[in-house]
Amino acid sequence: MGRVKRFIPVFIICVVPFIMVSCKGGFDASGYTGAILDLQFQGDTGSARAMVAGATQENLRDMYQDFINNFVAGYITDGMDISEEETKEFTELAATVFSTMQYEVGEAKKTGRKEYEVPVVIRPVDTFLRYKDLLAEDAIRISGKIKGGKYQGTDEEIQSQVMTEITNHAYDLLEKAYEDSEFGDKQTVILKVKADTSDIYSINEEDMDNLIVKILRLDEIGG
């Protein structure tokens, strides 16, 4: 598990060019925000397709998958030498974790001519904190085996054996962390939604980054 990384907003950046403003009833900031969150966490392309002009189910699905893949590479399998099939297993489990996220989009408040603040009530989940702790416990166990001479060979060979053992346990540890997960108290996160000079609306990147960090409690994971 690493420090909080900045790849997360890339998903939103990919979506932004498709967003259109023109609609008879005016821009629905809450509906747009909900559609983006549902796509990002649930992989639900239905609402997003209704809000995003020119987007197909396929390219929205690709954006969702890219978000999951980036998260897995940055937070779960970073530093591991694993096969494509093993990576797929981690990705599917991460998608399952994301699908359980609890959030509720509130009524948007207009703060400017083309600016809104949208409250989102979240319940943070401790899955990845549990995973970090389980990895730490596993590292202590493996360290004991190293000191006890349970691994044989050169330093390089021993290091390879250690990494193999860590990798072999990682999926089971993440699965256990998911099964034991608990949700915390409700928190409200504000997302600012604003149109640019071309009347294209988007969610503020730092606000979305903050929501993801808080709902997954990534800020509590040490570097």
| 118 band by pLDDT with thresholds 50, 70 and 90 | very high
| 189 band by pLDDT with thresholds 50, 70 and 90 | very high
Separation between Cα atoms, residue 98 and residue 92, nearest integer Å: 10
Separation between Cα atoms, residue 140 and residue 162, nearest integer Å: 12
Judged against a pLDDT cut of 80, whether residue 14 lies above it is answered with: no
Mean pLDDT across the chain? 82
- Long-range residue pairs from 73-79, CB within 8 A, at least 24 positions apart, any chain: 74/2, 74/5, 74/7, 75/1, 75/2, 75/5, 75/128, 75/218, 76/1, 76/131, 76/170, 76/174, 77/170, 78/2, 79/163
Q: Note the pLDDT tens digit of each residue in 28-71.
A: 899 999 999 999 999 998 888 777 667 788 888 888 998 899 89
Mean pLDDT of 198-204: 84
* Residue recorded with tokens 């591991």: 80
| 222 band by pLDDT with thresholds 50, 70 and 90 | low
Separation between Cα atoms, residue 181 and residue 35, nearest integer Å: 25
Q: Note the pLDDT tens digit of each residue in 142-179.
A: 777 777 777 677 777 777 777 777 777 889 999 999 99
Q: Note the pLDDT tens digit of each residue in 74-90.
A: 888 887 778 889 899 99
What percent of the chain is modeled with pLDDT above 70? 86
